[in-house]
Amino acid sequence: MLQKTKTYRSVTLKLVPTPKQARIIDRNFLRVNKFLNISEREFQKLIRNKAKEDNELHEAHTRLLALLAQRFTKTAMSNLLYPLDKGNYCFIRENNWYKVEIRFEPRMPVRINIDRSNNKYYSDIINGTAYPAFIYKYGSDYFLSTAIPIEKKWEERRLAVFIGIDLNMRKHVASLYNSLTNKFEVNIFFDLKPIDEKIKEIQRKIFMIQKGKRSSQLTEEEKQQLSKEYRRIRKIIEKGHGDFISKLLKVADSYWEQGYNVVFVLEDLKGITKNVRKDYKSFNRWLHSQWCYRRFGILLEVKPYLVKYVDSRNTSKMCHRCNSEVKIYGKHKRLISCDKCGLRDFSRDLNAARNIVKRIVDSFDVGGRET
């Protein structure tokens, strides 16, 4: 049996309605708005009347009631929203294209295309499902926001394999440990240099836009251009995360099919940026930011395998074979050796990934079950 979790992933999907469908959505926005078309003063009266009927609410400060009316009318009532649930919509797959079928009226279902080119969550859609959601409009674009439950793959009777992941600026490294064979069986390397080069190219454009100006000296057009370039950087990083995670999932899926549970193990991301060294000077600090690492964790956590975190201290300074302190050397300080056990010219990052695994294995029993 798979263990179901109460974890949900919030996703926003861009819709691509036809002009006729857009008019139908707009018309229904107005219908909802009419239900909410109530003034702040009228809403305040409703709250006060409700408060008179309830002893606990009656004791509330009048300022609280006024603020509730003010905030509610200026947020929920001022936005164009249309609520959805399984009673009036569902996702459907038609001609290899996902759509959302919405019944704005009982006998008039409308099938609206979901844009897959700008939707990083497109692969999360499941045919025939429907979760609490709402449609909203931003500018001239339409979006559907929902929360998709995440189901983790885990069976109590299975043994477990553990994939330790070391994230750094030059290269991401993962190493898989099999609790049955007591061996590290698979190593995965992901070079960040191509991503670094793309980011630096964008940063050169940013430099040309700024031209030494302070933020207050930039025109609105220049600010919009900068915002666009920064969004491009984030997308490049997320694309890199996605490519590395795809490699990890390929290995994880293979071991799941062989009858193993799979656990991903990451360093605790808090304070990880404090470990930046001088040998990273040539690499982009975007790749060693708190946002970058936390984003990787978020993207991995929503995949169908368990994710655990361990203390990151000294994972690259201690030998994974004998726990002795290692010597660090090489052009970029990425090699290690251990005088005690004889380990030589070993990848510092791979050593860290294996130490990360060792820190979680002790919390599982010999059968790979969490204790």
- Higher pLDDT, residue 215 or 14: 14
Residues 296 and 274 in one domain: yes
Which has the higher per-residue pLDDT, 289 or 136? Answer: 136
Q: Within this chain, do residues 27 and 165 fall inside the same structural domain, yes or no? A: no
* Global model pTM greater than 0.75: no
| Higher per-residue confidence, 59 vs 314 | 314
Q: What type of residue is 349?
A: D
Do residue 110 and residue 233 come from a single domain? Answer: no
177 and 324 in a single domain? The answer is yes
Q: Count CA atoms within 13 Å of residue 166 on its CB side.
A: 31
Residues 172 and 105 in one domain: no
**Last residue within a domain, chosen from 102, 130, 151:** 151
Is position 38 within any domain?
yes
Rounded to the nearest 10 degrees, the angle between the axes of helix 193-210 and helix 220-257 is: 170
What is the pLDDT confidence band of residue 281, given thresholds at 50, 70 and 90?
A: very low
Q: Are residues 76 and 171 in the same domain?
A: no
Point out the domain boundary residue: 118, 134, 151.
151
Same domain, 214 and 101: no
Kindly state whether residues 183 and 71 are assigned to the same domain.
Answer: no
In a domain, residue 219? The reply is: yes
Per-residue pLDDT at 105 exceeds 70: yes
Residue 187 and residue 139 in one domain: no
pLDDT tens track for 254-264? 999 999 999 99
Residue with tokens 């915002």: 227
Of 25-34, 272-281, 302-311, the one with minimum mean pLDDT is 272-281
| All residues at 6 or more sequence positions from 45 whose CB lies less than 8 Å from its CB, including other chains | none
Are residues 128 and 180 located together in one domain of the fold?
A: no
Do 221 and 72 have their domain in common? no
CA–centroid distance for 243 within its chain: 14
Count: domains in the chain: 2
For 5-60, what is each residue's pLDDT tens digit? 456 777 888 999 999 999 999 999 888 877 766 666 676 777 777 767 766 665 65
* Residue ranges making up the domain that contains 268: 159-361
Residue 314 shares a structural domain with residue 165? yes
